[in-house]
Structure 1
Amino acid sequence: MKILSRRLNFMCLFLLVTCYCLAQNGSVREDIIIDQGWRFSFGHPFETDKDFNHGTAYFSYLSKTGNGDGPAAKAFDDRAWRLLNLPHDWAVEQSFSESGSFSHGFKTAGKGFADKSIGWYRKKITLPEGDLGRIISLKFDGVFRNSKVWFNGHFLGTEESGYDGFEYDVTAYVNYGGENTIAVRVDASMEEGWFYEGAGIYRHIHLQKVNPLHIKTNGTYITTDIKPGYASVKAQISIENRGTNTIAGDVEIVSTIVDSKGKEIATKQIVSVPKPFNISLSDSEIRINNPLLWDIENPNLYRLVTTLKQDGKIVDIYETTFGIRSIRFDAEEGFFLNGKHLKLQGTNNHQDHAGVGTALPDELQYFRIKKLKEMGSNAYRCSHHPPTPELLEACDRLGMLVIDETRLMGINNLHLGAITRMIERDRNHPSVFCWSVGNEEWAIEGNIMGERITNTMQGFARSIDPTRPVTVGISSGFKSGISSVVEIMGYNYLGNGDIDAHRNQFKQQPGMGTEEGSTFATRGIYVTDDAKHYQNAYDRKPRPTFYSIEEGWKFYATRPYLAGMFIWTGFDYRGEPTPYGWPSVTSYFGMMDVCGFPKDNVYYLKSWWGKEPVLHLLPHWNWQGMEGKEIDVWAYSNCDEVELFLNNKSLGKKKMEQYGHLEWKVAYQPGTLEAVGYKNGKKVLTETQKTTAKPEKIKLTPHKPRLTNATDVAVVTVEVADKNGLHVPTAGDEINFSIKGGGRIIGVGNGDPTSLENDKFIDAINLVSITGFKEQALTTATLPQQLPSYPENAWKEAFKDRDYKNLAAAYVYRGQFNVASKSKTDVVSFFYQKVGVDAVVFVNGTKVTATADDAQKYVLNADLLKQGANTIHIVATPVHKVKDWDVINANPGVIQIVTPSEPYKRKLFSGYAQIIVQADGSGKEIILSATAKDVKAGTLAIPVK
C-alpha cells in the first residue's frame, strides 16, 4: 500500500508540475479560487447616498459600455471597507429581532432591513501580459441573491437565483500586465425559500484561464455500462472554439482514465476544429476490465483526463471525476444499486450550519456527511435547491446517494435554464441518482397544469441526462396532477394521502418518501416546556397528520414497493421554528441540531439503519429535586432483548420489537441507570447514564487531529466534565474563547433553538461621510503647517461653478463629520481621496500625519476627536483638467470608525457548545483556550500540516 501511495503521489506531482509548466506558456487551463482578500460594505436598495451614489451617473452602465459608477467603477476607493475572505454570509453576522423574518430565523438582514439587504464586494487582481490570447472568465458557484457583476467598470450581467452557478467571459475587458477590479452588488432583500438562505457570496469564485480552443465548462459527460467482467465508459466531450479566426487543421483528443490503482487506460481520436464561437461534440469509449464499482460502502472513483492537442502541442487538459455504478428503480421491489437491493435511508437538508450560516468551508461539508453516515443514512436530498459542488464531492468520496433538486417549477428559460446548469454541472457525480424538478407546489400539484409542467420538465431533464429518473416531492394529495405523470413518485408525509391506494392505482410507478417525519425535539431536553419553547426529545407524533420517526420508518421499511424515505430533516436549520415563533430562531425537526450534535432519534435510526449493534439509553440521569418521581426511560437498540438496572437492581428485561424501542417508568434515584443488551441470549452491549457532580473542567475536542491546508477547519466540541471526568449533560456555563497561532475563529453555536447569542464576533465598521464641504481660494501654493484663520464669510460650496481655466494657486476645504459615541478602544481613520495634487490635513485644528504604508490614510488619535461634530480642513493645490470633459474628484474621502468586538463566547446548551476554527495560511500551530467561571480552563493545540 505504501508503494502504491508513493506512486499515486508521484503521478499527481508530475501532473501538477506538467500543468504548471504548460500554464506558464499560456497553453492549458488554470482554475484559481479567488476567495481571499475581498472588500465588503453594505449599500442600500433605494437611498443612493447610502449606496455610494451607484446608478447616479449621467450615462449609466446600461447605456454606455464600461460606465460602472460608484463601487462598480474601477477607480472607486474601497480602502475603508471591511476586508474579508469568501465564502461569506452577512446575514449570520447580524443580531436577532422579533421583526425579522420567521423563515430566515429572525435575523436583522434582508427583507424588512434596507440597511442590511444590499452588499457590495470588490477585489483587485493582477493578470500578467502572458495571459493575452487566452480566454479569461469568472465562475461563481453561487451568490445569494440577485447579483450584478462588473469587471473594470464593464457590466457583465445579472443572476437572479441565489443557487445557480454562473460564468462571465471578461477577456476583452482585462488590463493585461496590470491591475483589474471585480465588483459585485448583491441584493438579498427578497427570499427564494421559506428557510434560512443567508446573504452574500456564500460559495467560491474561480478565475479561469483557457486556450481559445478548449473543453467547454462542464463539457464532459460520462456514462458507464457494466458488463460481465468489464465496464464500458463512454465520454461525450464538448470542444469550444472561442477564437475569432478560423483555426486550420484538426485537433487530437486523448482520453485517459486513471483508475484507483493509478493505472492509465487511454484512447485518442482526431476531430475537426469547430468554427469560431461554435461547439463540437466528440464521443469516445474506453473498456475497463474488472472495474471497481462505486457504492455507499466502497465509493471507488476514477478520473477521466481529457487532453486536447493541436499541431502536437497540448492546448487544454480537463479532469473529470466519476464512478462506475448502475441504478434502477422497480415499482415492486424498490431501488437497486449495482444490481443489489438497497433501501433508501435518507434525510433532507438545507445548507446551513451553526456559526457560519450558509458560508460553509469545504471541510464542513465532509463533517456533515460523515455525521449522517454515522447515523446510518445512505441518501441525501438537497432541499430545495442545487447544492454546492463541494457537497457533491463529499458525497462522492464518502458514499452518500443524492437527490439533486432545482429551485422552481416552470417551462421557460428561467426554469429550464436552471435545470440545464444543474444537470450539466452534476451529472458526472456517481452520488447523484435522481433529479428532482419540484417540491410541494400546491397551486399546481393536483391539476392539469401540474401535469403539463412536470411532463415538460422531466422530458427536458431526460434530454440532458437519460441515465437518471426524475421525481417531485408532492404533499397535497396523491391522486392526480403531478403524481399521475411523474416518473418516480415523491410522497411528502403519510398524513397527506393514502400511499397504498395511490400505489394500487399506479402500479407501474416507483415511489419513495421524499419527506417524512417532521417531528419536534430539543436536544437534551426531556420535559416539554412551552414557556421556554423546548420540546421534549422523546420520539412522538408531532401533529395529527404527521407521524413520528418510528411510525414513518415502520411504514416504509415494511413495504417493498417503496424505495425508502427521506426524513425531514437531518440537521436543524435556522428559520421555520415550528411549532413556536419568536424567540425560537431555529427549527426543531432535525435528527441533529444546527451544530451536528445528535438528538436521541439518531440512535433509533442507527439501530435500524446501521449494521453494528446499538444500545442507547435516555434520558440523562441528573434529576435533582425529583427524587421518587417517575421518569420515562427509553432504550433504542437493535439487540434482541434489553435489561434495565438502577443502582444494580434489575427493573426487568424486555424483548425488542423490530423497528421499535423499549420503555420503562422509573422512580428517580441518583446513581447509575444501566442497560444491558442481549443477542442470542448473550450480553453484547452495556450503556449507562450516571448522575454527575458539578462541572469542574472544560474539555475541548476537535473533529480531526490536524488541519491540512490553508483554509481547513476544525470543528471543536466544547463541554464540561465533573470531578470524575463525566460529561455534565445539564451544564449551561458561559465559555469564553481566545486563540493564538495560525488560526482564527469563524463561528460558534450550541444548538439551543431559542439562543439569541451571537454566531460571530466581528469588529463593527462605521463609515461616516464628510458633510458641508466648502472651499476658499488661496493666493499662494505654499501649504501651511499650522491651520490659519480663514474669513467665515468667504466659504462657498466646494467645486461648484469652478473655472478650471483660471484656477487659484491653492484651495482650503472645510467639512464636518460626526462621531456618535467616543471610545478609547475605537480606531478612527480618515481615508483621504485626492482633491488636490499636494495636500495637508487638519482635524479640529491640529495637523495630522499620513501612515507610513498609505500616504492617503490618516489614523486619528482619540484625544484629538470630540463626541459629536468634528471639523476637517484640507489645504491642497488644485488638479487641472487635461480635457474639458475630465471629471475632477470632489469627494474628500470617508471617516472609518472601527469598534473592536468582544471576545468569542457561548453558553453551553444541554452540556455542549461548538466552536469552528480555521487555519489562516501561516502554517503555525493553533492554540485555542476556553475559560469559564468556577471551572478549570481548557486548552487545545491543533497542528497545521
Structure 2
Amino acid sequence: MKTKFTQKAIFYFFVLISIPAFTQNKIGRELILIDKDWRFSFGHLHDTKKDFGHAEGYFSYLTKTGFGDGPAAKDFDDRAWRKLDLPHDWAVEQPFSESASFSHGFKAAGKNFPEKSIGWYRKKITIPNEDLGKIISLKFDGVFRNSKVFFNGFYLGTEQSGYNGFEYDVTAYVNYGGENTIVVRADASMEEGWFYEGAGIYRHVYLQKTNPVRVVSNGTYVTSELKNNDASVTADVTIENKGNYKGSIEISQTIFNKENKQITAFSESIAAPEFYKTITHSSKLYVQNPLLWDIDSPNLYRLVTQIKQHGKIIDSYETPFGIRTIEFNAENGFFLNGKPLKLKGTNNHQDHAGIGTALPNEIQYYRIKKLKEMGSNAYRCSHHPPTPELLKACDELGMLVIDETRLMGINDYHLNDLKRMIERDRNHPSIFCWSVGNEEWNIEGGIVGERITNVMQDFAKSIDPTRPVTVGISSGFKSGISSVVEIMGYNYLGNGDIDAHRNQFKQQSGMGTEEGSTFATRGIYFTDDAKHYQSAYDKKPRPTFYSIEEGWKFYAERPYLAGVFFWTGFDYRGEPTPYGWPSVTSYFGMMDVCGFPKDNVFYLKSWWGKEPVLHLLPHWNWTGMEGKEIDVWAYSNCDEVELFLNKKSLGKKKMEQNGHLEWKVKYTPGTLEAIGYKNGKKIITEIKKTTGKAENVKLSLDKENILKGNVSVISVEVTDKNGLHIPTANDEINFSVKGGKILGVGNGDPTSLESDQFIDDISFSVITNFMEQKSESASVPKEMTNYDESKWTEAFKERDYKKQAPSYIYKGEFELKNNASANVVSFFYKKIGVETVVFVNGKKVEPSSEDPQKYILNTAILKEGKNTIHIAATPLQKVKDWDVMNTDPGIIQVSTPAASWKRKLFNGYAQIIIQKDENAKEVILSASAKDLRAVSLSVK
C-alpha cells in the first residue's frame, strides 16, 4: 500500500474561521458584510430577450473591457426588481412539480424550467474618496452556481462551482466618492450533486478594504506541537504587495486566549515582497500549559498578525485556532489529545426546512447543537466544502469534521478546488480529515482511481501535512482506491468484506464514512407504500444493507475501526428513496428536515451519550386498534427496563449492550410507562399517554437551543385539555408576526407539497406596439385627447435627432393576466423625454412621491387583458453625435401580495423560523387554527 501515513503519525492543529458574519473594522483592514438591500430578478436560460438583452451588444463584456450589457451594465434600471437580503435561495421559493428534478426535491427550478434557472442580483454601494489607494475586493462565500460577476459594468470573472468561496479585486474599477454597482448572474440550470443544492447567492458577500501590502486571503497557517505541558506554535503568513512600496516591513504575531489576554508574541523585520509578488514568513511562538481543544471543551485561541510599515500598523489579520493532537492508529482507532475516541458521526447536506440552503448563521449552530444532543461528535460534509459558518459552529461547539471536496481529478479544475478548500479551512481545529472523493464508481476499483487518489492525497499533504486523507468507497473494498487511500472510508458494510480488507492492509486505518441509509418517517410506525410511509422502527432498508443498530454494533465492536458516520443526521430535500413523486425529501435522517427527532435518535443517544436515556416507541394513540398487538420498543442505556400498561407490569427485561428491548402489547387506551434501572435502582421514567382531542396551539422556543442573534426556531404543536402533546395531529396552523419576519416553515413530512415560503409575487408586463406621432406643441398636454390613428408610426424608428419635433405622443400596450384589487401595479418609467405626462386607458396618472419616474396605477383604471398607455413628452437632445438615446419607455410591475403564512402539522409538529427586525426589542409570533385556542409567543 502506497502511503505516507504511518501507524503512529500524529497530526497537530489550529483553526481559521475564515470570515465572521459581521462588519469587521481593524487597523488597516476593513471587512464589511453587504448582505442587505439587493435587487433580484429572474432572467432566462436561452432567450436573451427574456434575459434583459444580456450579451446582445455588438461589443460584449468578453470583447471589450467594461462592456457589460443588459443587467450587467452599471446604469441598468433595476427599480422594478424585487428587494431582498442575502443569503438567498430562489429554488426553495418555487412550487413543486412532478416534471422537476428528483434529486433536487422536485422544486420547479433548474434546466427544465429555463425561466427559473437564471437569477440576476444587483446592489449599489458607495465607496468614499478616502479609500483611494486601498485594495478594494469583493468576497463571496459561495454562489450556486456558474456565477458571473460584474462591477460598474466590468466583467470580473466566472466561478463554476457552487461551493467555492471566491474573491475579485475591483480596485481599478471603483468610482471613488460615488456610487458603484455590483452585479451577479447565477446559472443554476446544471446540477453538481444528486441532492438539493438551492440556487443563487446562498452564502454571505463582503466588501474588503486593505493596504496594498497585506496578508492574503486565507493567508495564515497555524500549526502546533505539544511537548510535555507546552505547545510550540508555528505561524506561517503569506504577504503580498499590490503596490509599489519597496523597503522593510515588520511582522508581528500575537496569541490571545479566550479571555482576550495576551499569551505570547513575536515580531521580526523583513523585506516587503516585490510588486504583485508574495512571500511566506514563519514565526515560532510558545504557549505554556495550553488549554486543548476537544469535543467537550472546545478551547480556542486567537492569533493576530500585524504588518507595520515605518512603525505604523498597515494590516491586521485575525486567525482563531485551537491546540490539539489527532492520531489514527491502525490497531486501536482514533485518538484526540492522546485519548481514544470513537467517532460517532453523521453525514449531512446543507439545507434546512423552509429556507433551503440559505441558512442564517444561527441555524448552523442550531443544527450542530441538535447533533451534539444526540451524542454525535463528528460531522462529514457531504459532499462538498461547507459554508465557513458551519465550521465556525463546529469549532466553537466541539464537533469533529471531515471536510470534503466535490469531485475527483488531477487537473486544475479539481486540484484548484481542493487547494482552495484546504487553504480556507486548514486552521479549523474541528477538521481532522480531508476527503478527496466519494463513491466514484467509475474509478473506484481500477488503476485510474489509484492514480487519481495518489495525486490528490499527495497534493493535499503538500498544502497541509497535519491531517490524513480519506475517500468514501462503496463498490467493494478490494482494489483501486481502497489499496492506496490513507484512511480507508467504508461506505456501507454490506458493500464488501471490511474484515477481509483490514486483514490484507493491516497498516491502513479505516472508518465507516457512510452507514445506515435506513428509511423512517417521523411518527409513523407502519409501512404503507401507497402513502409513502416508512415505519420508524429500525430495520434493514434493503437485504444487503443494515439497520442503525446493526451498523453501530459492527463498528463499536471493532477497535481497529475509528468510528462510523451514519447517513444522515438530518433528512434533506431530494433523493426521496425508496419513492418518487410526491415524496420530495429523503427518509434517511436520524432527524427530519426540521431537526425533529425520529426514534433512531434515541437509540444513538442511548449508546453515544453520557446521560441516562429511556425512550418508548410508538405513541399510544391507536383508536380502532383496541385489543390488537402493538410492537413496543425501548431505547435505553439502563441495565434493565420494566414496562407497565395502566399500572400493570408487563415484565422487566435486561438490556443488551448497544441493543434495545421489545414487548408485544395489546392496545388499551391509557398510560404506557417504562422504568429504567441502574445497579438495581430506579433512575429514569418514560410515559406515553393516550391523549384527548386537540384544544390548544402551543409555540415553544427550544430552551437548549436559544439562539444568539436575530433568528429563532419555534416548534409548533397542539395539545389536549391537559396540555398533552398530540402525536397524531395534522391541523393547519396560520401564522402572523410583529417586530420581525418569517423566513420559512416546515413540518418534516416527506410528501408535503405545501409552500416553504410565502412571498409577494413580482411579475412584469412589457410595453408592446410602441408607436409615436409628432406634436407641434412645445409643451405636453395635460389632458388626454383623441389622436389621428393614421399618423402613428413605429417609435424612434429612423429618428433624426437634429430635427426633432417640439414634442411627441407615444402609445403602447401592456397585458394584465388579472386585475385583482389587492395587486399593486406600477409603471417604472425610463426617461424618453424632458417633460412627461402619462395616461393609462385614457386617464392621467401622477408620479409617486418617492420616485418621479414611478407611477402607481389604480386598479380602478386598469382592466384584465389589454391596456393602453400614452406618454406625452418633449424630446431628449443628443449632446454628442455618438450618444445612445434611450428608446425603452419602461416596464409594468405587478406585485401580488403573498398569502398568509401557514403550515399543517405533521404527526404533531411543525417548525417556523423567524427573524427579528434589527431595531425591534422583541418579535411576537401568533398562531391560530380552526376550533383551537390561539397563542402568541414573544422572543426578545
The aligned counterpart of 2:663 is: 664
Is the 1:455–1:486 Cα contact (8 Å) retained in structure 2?
yes
Q: 2:845 corresponds to which letter in structure 1?
A: V
Matched, 1:642 2:657: no
Distance of aligned partners of 1:342 and 1:218 in 2 relative to their CA distance in 1, 3 Å threshold = same
Matched, 1:730 2:761: no
Q: 1:272 corresponds to which letter in structure 2?
A: A
Is the 2:694–2:719 Cα contact (8 Å) retained in structure 1?
yes
- The worse-fitting range, judged by mean Cα deviation, of 744-753 and 775-784 is 775-784
Distance of aligned partners of 1:667 and 1:708 in 2 relative to their CA distance in 1, 3 Å threshold = closer
Matched, 1:624 2:623: yes
The aligned counterpart of 1:521 is: 520
Paired residue secondary structure (2:927): strand
Q: Distance in 1 between matches of 2:65 and 2:661?
A: 71
Q: Given the alignment, which residue of 791, 814, 821 partners 2:788?
A: 791
Paired residue secondary structure (2:303): strand
Matched, 1:226 2:226: yes
CA deviation string 1:488-510 (max 9, x = no partner): 00000011100000000010000
Distance of aligned partners of 1:787 and 1:365 in 2 relative to their CA distance in 1, 3 Å threshold = same
Deviation at 1:708, TM superposition (A): 7.7
Matched, 1:782 2:779: yes
Q: Distance in 2 between matches of 1:463 and 1:937?
A: 61
Q: Distance in 1 between matches of 2:158 and 2:879?
A: 36
The aligned counterpart of 2:542 is: 543
Q: Given the alignment, which residue of 717, 721, 730 partners 2:719?
A: 721
- The worse-fitting range, judged by mean Cα deviation, of 259-268 and 921-930 is 259-268
Is the 2:830–2:853 Cα contact (8 Å) retained in structure 1?
yes
Trace 1:385-464 onto structure 2 (pairs within 5 A): 385-464=384-463
Distance of aligned partners of 1:714 and 1:705 in 2 relative to their CA distance in 1, 3 Å threshold = farther
Deviation at 1:350, TM superposition (A): 0.1
Q: Distance in 1 between matches of 2:706 and 2:847?
A: 40
Distance of aligned partners of 1:660 and 1:18 in 2 relative to their CA distance in 1, 3 Å threshold = closer
Q: 2:754 corresponds to which letter in structure 1?
A: E
Trace 1:90-109 onto structure 2 (pairs within 5 A): 90-109=90-109
Q: Given the alignment, which residue of 739, 759, 763 partners 1:762?
A: 759
CA deviation string 1:635-668 (max 9, x = no partner): 0000000000000000001000000000000000
Deviation at 1:811, TM superposition (A): 1.1
Q: Given the alignment, which residue of 846, 859, 877 partners 2:874?
A: 877
Q: Distance in 1 between matches of 2:22 and 2:434?
A: 38
Matched, 1:807 2:804: yes
Q: Distance in 1 between matches of 2:210 and 2:80?
A: 35
Is the 2:742–2:915 Cα contact (8 Å) retained in structure 1?
yes
Q: Distance in 1 between matches of 2:329 and 2:137?
A: 44
Q: Distance in 1 between matches of 2:153 and 2:227?
A: 55
Q: 2:250 corresponds to which letter in structure 1?
A: E
Q: Distance in 2 between matches of 1:938 and 1:706?
A: 21
Paired residue secondary structure (1:936): coil
Is the 2:747–2:909 Cα contact (8 Å) retained in structure 1?
yes
The aligned counterpart of 1:468 is: 467
- Contiguous gaps of at least 5 residues in structure 2: 1-20
The aligned counterpart of 2:507 is: 508
Trace 1:584-623 onto structure 2 (pairs within 5 A): 584-623=583-622
Distance of aligned partners of 1:41 and 1:328 in 2 relative to their CA distance in 1, 3 Å threshold = same
Is the 2:643–2:650 Cα contact (8 Å) retained in structure 1?
yes
Deviation at 1:610, TM superposition (A): 0.6
Is the 1:676–1:683 Cα contact (8 Å) retained in structure 2?
yes
Deviation at 1:779, TM superposition (A): 1.4
Is the 1:704–1:714 Cα contact (8 Å) retained in structure 2?
no
The aligned counterpart of 1:33 is: 33
Deviation at 1:19, TM superposition (A): 8.3
CA deviation string 1:885-944 (max 9, x = no partner): 21100110000000001110000001000000012212331111000011100110111x
Trace 1:551-562 onto structure 2 (pairs within 5 A): 551-562=550-561
Is the 2:145–2:162 Cα contact (8 Å) retained in structure 1?
yes
Q: Distance in 2 between matches of 1:414 and 1:800?
A: 48
Q: Distance in 2 between matches of 1:263 and 1:817?
A: 67
Q: Distance in 1 between matches of 2:653 and 2:607?
A: 18
Q: Distance in 2 between matches of 1:254 and 1:504?
A: 51
Is the 2:767–2:813 Cα contact (8 Å) retained in structure 1?
yes
Q: Distance in 1 between matches of 2:778 and 2:558?
A: 91
Q: TM-score, normalised by structure 1?
A: 0.96
Is the 2:725–2:908 Cα contact (8 Å) retained in structure 1?
yes
Trace 1:238-317 onto structure 2 (pairs within 5 A): 238-243=238-243, 245=244, 247-264=245-262, 265-317=264-316
Deviation at 1:563, TM superposition (A): 0.2
The aligned counterpart of 2:57 is: 57
Q: Distance in 1 between matches of 2:930 and 2:841?
A: 45
Q: Distance in 2 between matches of 1:510 and 1:822?
A: 68
CA deviation string 1:840-897 (max 9, x = no partner): 1111111100011100000000101011000111111111112222110011000000
Is the 2:330–2:560 Cα contact (8 Å) retained in structure 1?
yes
CA deviation string 1:129-165 (max 9, x = no partner): 0010000000000000000000000000000000001
The aligned counterpart of 1:77 is: 77
Trace 1:317-336 onto structure 2 (pairs within 5 A): 317-336=316-335
The aligned counterpart of 1:918 is: 915
Q: 1:738 corresponds to which letter in structure 2?
A: S
Is the 1:361–1:712 Cα contact (8 Å) retained in structure 2?
no
Q: Distance in 2 between matches of 1:430 and 1:703?
A: 28
- Paired residues in the alignment total 919
Q: Distance in 2 between matches of 1:781 and 1:365?
A: 63
Is the 1:143–1:162 Cα contact (8 Å) retained in structure 2?
yes
Q: Distance in 1 between matches of 2:917 and 2:482?
A: 51
Q: Given the alignment, which residue of 745, 748, 757 partners 2:745?
A: 748
Distance of aligned partners of 1:389 and 1:136 in 2 relative to their CA distance in 1, 3 Å threshold = same
Matched, 1:852 2:842: no
The aligned counterpart of 1:3 is: none
After superposition, the CA RMSD in angstroms is 1.3
Paired residue secondary structure (2:834): coil
Deviation at 1:704, TM superposition (A): 5.3
The aligned counterpart of 2:819 is: 822
Q: 2:358 corresponds to which letter in structure 1?
A: A
The aligned counterpart of 1:12 is: none
Paired residue secondary structure (2:875): coil
Q: Distance in 2 between matches of 1:941 and 1:468?
A: 46
Is the 2:24–2:32 Cα contact (8 Å) retained in structure 1?
no
Deviation at 1:266, TM superposition (A): 1.1
Is the 2:211–2:315 Cα contact (8 Å) retained in structure 1?
yes
Q: State, as a whole percentage, how many aligned pairs show the same letter.
A: 72
Is the 1:223–1:234 Cα contact (8 Å) retained in structure 2?
yes
CA deviation string 1:336-371 (max 9, x = no partner): 000000000000000010000000000000000000
Q: 1:864 corresponds to which letter in structure 2?
A: I
Is the 2:366–2:707 Cα contact (8 Å) retained in structure 1?
no
Is the 2:246–2:274 Cα contact (8 Å) retained in structure 1?
no
The aligned counterpart of 1:843 is: 840
Q: 2:236 corresponds to which letter in structure 1?
A: Q
The aligned counterpart of 1:367 is: 366
Distance of aligned partners of 1:81 and 1:705 in 2 relative to their CA distance in 1, 3 Å threshold = farther
The aligned counterpart of 1:119 is: 119
Q: Distance in 2 between matches of 1:907 and 1:518?
A: 27
The aligned counterpart of 1:157 is: 157
Deviation at 1:49, TM superposition (A): 1.3
Is the 1:706–1:942 Cα contact (8 Å) retained in structure 2?
no
Q: Distance in 2 between matches of 1:770 and 1:100?
A: 32
Paired residue secondary structure (1:838): strand
Q: Distance in 2 between matches of 1:329 and 1:781?
A: 86
**Higher-RCO chain (CA-CA 8 Å, sequence separation at least 6):** 2
Is the 2:31–2:206 Cα contact (8 Å) retained in structure 1?
yes
Paired residue secondary structure (1:368): helix
CA deviation string 1:445-473 (max 9, x = no partner): 00000000000000000000000000000
